[in-house]
A and B are shown apart, each in its own frame.
Chain A
Amino acid sequence: MSEIKLEHLVKKYGDGFAAVNDVSLDIRDGEFMILVGPSGCGKSTLLRMVVGLEDITSGDLHINGERVNDKAPRDRNLAMVFQNYALYPHLSVYENIAFPLRLQRSRHPEPEIDEMVRRAAGLLELEEHLERKPANLSGGQRQRVAMGRALVRDADAFLFDEPLSNLDAKLRGQMRTEIARIQRRLGTTTIYVTHDQTEAMTLGDRVAVLRRGILQQCASPRELYEQPVNLFVAGFIGSPPMNFLPGRVEGDVLHLPIGDVPLPEAARAAATGHDLLIAGIRPELFEDASVLDRSRQAGGVLVDLDIDVTEWLGNELYAYVPYEPDPAVRAKLDELDRDLDGEGMRTQLVVSLDAQSRVRDGDRARLWFDPARMHLFDPESGVTLTRDEEVAARLDAENEDLRQGSLERARRAADRAVPA
């Protein structure tokens, strides 16, 4: 059992810069928590504060109900995998993994150490490499040794700092599933830092999105995707990213650069008092009208667009439609782009269509989408106006149920595997 509680944590570096600013998180027992955000947003700093390598400027950190702000790393009983693995180059793989155990020699006799190291090595398929030195291993193997060193002892929680960022894309995918499998199996509380939203979405029970040291939203992947609290979260989560279009409100109609759409029932209340809104439409909400079921067309609107470039990927087709943004929201969208590590590229709409679609570069295509699933944002504050708290709460509860269920299953499976 281990719960980690962050209460108003602040980290100010020597120059007075607040790398982490008033972050509160409640990480539950056995939970896989992701810290995600663009580079430089303070994820690593926050993780290092939890593990004890960085002093806490203000706020409290509790592990299992005990305040640990002033405890040395070794007294916090957390295991960490570093971004560049930090393997000990002068020790063999075996000794690297055994290192944490040897430091508590009083508690482990030699045969027990051997058994624990071999069990960890077995879990990570490192048995053949135990006698080798880290310098002679491939990137993926080193990564697994680093994980072995973390798994081998009975730590209260695992902390990962971008553990997959040094691997190539294929290996990254494999290791990602491997980490998910091991975490489920051991049911150990885990905090995982990444800048990659795919990793965040696939691994996390819950995901905490950070921007410039400030926590934006902490929720299940599904809630982040469907009910983001603001422009930043909406733009960060999802790939390809959400399209942001300026929209002028006129009665019940919203004028978008791609055409006029009726304001959906639910959004009307939110839109009152605003002339100008930012509309967020995910690429996959668009469909090619010519291959869409007649029955589905009823609920949505049709827009005719000039397609600039298409990319056919086999399972889907991306089409790009450039447009001129409204100068009134230009500044806001540029700022958002910078926050998201964007390149300040041309403003264009990205749509993801069925792979059956015959739309090609230069075509004028008729696309369909359902405005009811569109998000609307306040152009000044960036707050989501269409967020439905009830739905969000339901998603949250559902997510927690599912998590408890799978943790329960994993624990039962583990009990069966190791009869008491």
Chain B
Amino acid sequence: MDRQLSTRAKVGWALGGLAILVYALFPVAWIVSLSLKAPSDLSNQQFLPTRFSLENYREIFTGNASELFLSALRNSVGICLIATFISVVLAMFAAYAIARLEFPGKRLILSTALAVAIFPVISIVTPLFNLWRQIGLYDTWPGLIIPYLSLTLPISIWTLSAFFREIPWEMEQAAQVDGATNWQAFRKVIVPLAAPGVFTTAIISFFIAWNDFVYGISLTSTERARPVPAALAFFTGSSQFELPTGAISAAAVIVTIPVVVLILLFQRRIVAGLTNGAVKG
């Protein structure tokens, strides 16, 4: 009886999982397939390309679209790395204080962070656009890094403070008794313990910034600062009668690759980091 039920349950779960997988991965597969189609195939209403061609990739890396794409890629990588770095460093200080110290306004900081996180981005884009133009931040790297911080900081603070709360701080005291200075205790004991959490937070922050579209499209106008998601919208076909669908698909595939690779490499770390606050070790 028990066994039967569990087999049936297993099949049910498997089917459910499969359905979700297909639902989630189908658009991805479609884009991959589109990116491999030759321009003549693009609207042939078939799922698979009749002939595999790397023409679209050539287009974005060396062809017409390359100027647009490569500079956008450079912008995206640079801006996202800087935003991630700043946000993780700031969040580390904030989370350390939240996890370790009792001070008035602790709850206020956490709830403000949450409020910022759920605040609709679209409603501040227009004021930001005007402000940035006035103070000269429009279409610059800092002009994107600053709003990206507002996206990445709240989640970083939340993840890191959940993580820091789980670190057994008695360890720091043990190190001090063992003869360590405050700095040695921090560097030799706390840093190695906190590293996985910091790492997880950095990856999450990076993705959030990497995936942004609204700020990217509204606060930039040239390839000086335009990130990839925004740049995709400016692709043009090789002639005005051709749609740039192929090139866009190829670029979309390229920007997805770092995400997939990072996730696959650090899957365990991320899961451990995310569940750390919830599950007591």
Minimum distance in angstroms from A166 CB to a CB of chain B: 13
With A89-B193, A90-B193 as contacts: A72 and B176 at CB distance below 8 Å: yes
B48-87 interface (Cβ within 8 A of A): none
Q: Mark A58-80, 1 if CB is under 8 A from B, else 0.
A: 00000000000000111000111
Is B174's beta carbon under 8 Å from chain A? yes
Is B27's beta carbon under 8 Å from chain A? no
Is B178's beta carbon under 8 Å from chain A? yes
Is A225's beta carbon under 8 Å from chain B? no
| A interface secondary structure, majority | loop
Q: Which of A72, A84, A99 contacts B178 (CB 8 A)?
A: A99
Most buried by B among A72, A79, A149: A72
B192 and A73 contact, CB distance less than 8 A: no
Is B105's beta carbon under 8 Å from chain A? no
Minimum distance in angstroms from B180 CB to a CB of chain A: 5
Chain A hits for B193, CB < 8 A: 89-90
B160-210 interface (Cβ within 8 A of A): 168, 170-171, 173-181, 184, 188-189, 192-193
Q: How far is the CA of A100 from the CA of B184 in the complex (A)?
A: 11
Chain A hits for B184, CB < 8 A: 103
Is A86's beta carbon under 8 Å from chain B? yes
Is A269's beta carbon under 8 Å from chain B? no
Chain A hits for B168, CB < 8 A: 84, 86
With A84-B170, A86-B170, A88-B189 as contacts: A99 and B176 at CB distance below 8 Å: no
Minimum distance in angstroms from A45 CB to a CB of chain B: 13
Q: Which of A78, A89, A104 contacts B177 (CB 8 A)?
A: A78
Minimum distance in angstroms from A104 CB to a CB of chain B: 6
Chain A hits for B181, CB < 8 A: 72, 74
B180 to chain A: closest residue by CB: A103
A103 and B179 contact, CB distance less than 8 A: yes
Q: Mark B222-243, 1 if CB is under 8 A from A, else 0.
A: 0000000000000000000000
Minimum distance in angstroms from B81 CB to a CB of chain A: 27
Q: Which of A79, A80, A88, A100 contacts B171 (CB 8 A)?
A: A88
Q: Which of A53, A84, A100 contacts B179 (CB 8 A)?
A: A100
B176 and A86 contact, CB distance less than 8 A: no
Chain B hits for A79, CB < 8 A: 177-178
Is A312's beta carbon under 8 Å from chain B? no
Chain B hits for A80, CB < 8 A: 174, 177
Chain B hits for A103, CB < 8 A: 178-180, 184
Q: How far is the CA of A390 from the CA of B181 in the complex (A)?
A: 49
Chain A hits for B178, CB < 8 A: 74, 79, 99-100, 103, 149
A74 and B179 contact, CB distance less than 8 A: yes
B192 to chain A: closest residue by CB: A90
Is A117's beta carbon under 8 Å from chain B? no
Is A229's beta carbon under 8 Å from chain B? no
Minimum distance in angstroms from A351 CB to a CB of chain B: 44
Q: How far is the CA of A149 from the CA of B180 in the complex (A)?
A: 14
5 smallest CB-CB distances across A and B, nearest first, come from A86-B174, A100-B178, A103-B179, A90-B192, A73-B176
Pairs A–B under 8 Å by Cβ, sample size 28 = A52-B176, A52-B177, A53-B177, A72-B181, A73-B173, A74-B176, A74-B177, A74-B181, A79-B178, A80-B174, A82-B170, A82-B174, A86-B170, A86-B171, A88-B171, A88-B174, A88-B175, A90-B193, A99-B175, A99-B178, A99-B188, A100-B178, A100-B179, A103-B178, A103-B179, A103-B184, A104-B179, A149-B178
Q: A79-B178, A103-B180 are in contact. List 17 more A-B contacts (CB 8 A).
A: A53-B176, A73-B173, A74-B177, A78-B177, A80-B177, A82-B170, A84-B170, A86-B170, A86-B171, A86-B173, A88-B175, A90-B192, A99-B175, A99-B178, A103-B179, A104-B179, A153-B179
Q: Which residues of A contact B (CB under 8 A)?
A: 51-53, 72-74, 78-80, 82, 84, 86, 88-90, 99-100, 103-104, 149, 153
Q: Which residues of B contact A (CB under 8 A)?
A: 168, 170-171, 173-181, 184, 188-189, 192-193
